[in-house]
Amino acid sequence: MSSSAVILFAHGAREPEWAQPFESIRDRLRAVAMPIELAFLEFMPPSLDEAAARLAGKGIETVVIVPLFLAQGAHLKRELPAMVEKIRKRHAKTEFRVTPALGESPEIVAAITEWVLRAAR
29, containing H or E segment: helix 20-32
Q: What gap in Å lies between CA 104 and CA 92, rounded to an integer?
A: 29
Active-site residue among 3, 6, 9, 11?
A: 11
Active site residue 91: no
Burial of 114: CB neighbours in 10 Å, binned 0-12, 13-18, 19+: exposed
**Residues with catalytic roles:** 11
